[in-house]
Amino acid sequence: MAKRLMMTSFTTWKPEQTSNSSDDLMLAMLDKGMVSPTQVVRLLPVHFEEAPRRAIDYFNTFQPDGVVCFGMAEKRDRLNLERQAVREDHTRQTRLPLESWLEELSFTDISDDAGKFVCNHLYYELLDYVQQHHPEKFVLFIHVPVLTAENKAAILQDIQVIMGRLHAIPAGSPQPIAPVTPLLR
pLDDT tens by residue, 13-70: 888 888 999 999 999 999 998 887 668 999 999 999 999 999 999 999 999 999 999 9
- In this model, does residue 91 exceed pLDDT 80? yes
Could you tell me the sign of the dihedral formed by the alpha carbons of 160, 8, 139, 13, in that order? positive
What pLDDT does 170 receive? 80
The number of residues making up the chain comes to: 185
pLDDT band at 112 (very low <50, low <70, confident <90, very high): very high
For 130-179, what is each residue's pLDDT tens digit? 999 999 999 999 999 999 999 999 999 999 999 999 988 886 665 544 44
Q: Rounded to whole angstroms, how far apart are CA atoms 168 and 110? A: 20
| E strand or H helix that includes residue 16 | none
Q: Which fold has domain 5-182?
A: Aminopeptidase (3.40.630)
pTM score above 0.85: yes
Q: What angle do CA 75, 90, 135 make, to 5 degrees?
A: 95
- In this model, does residue 99 exceed pLDDT 70? yes
Backbone angles phi, psi at 5, to 5 degrees: -105, 140
What pLDDT does 37 receive? 63
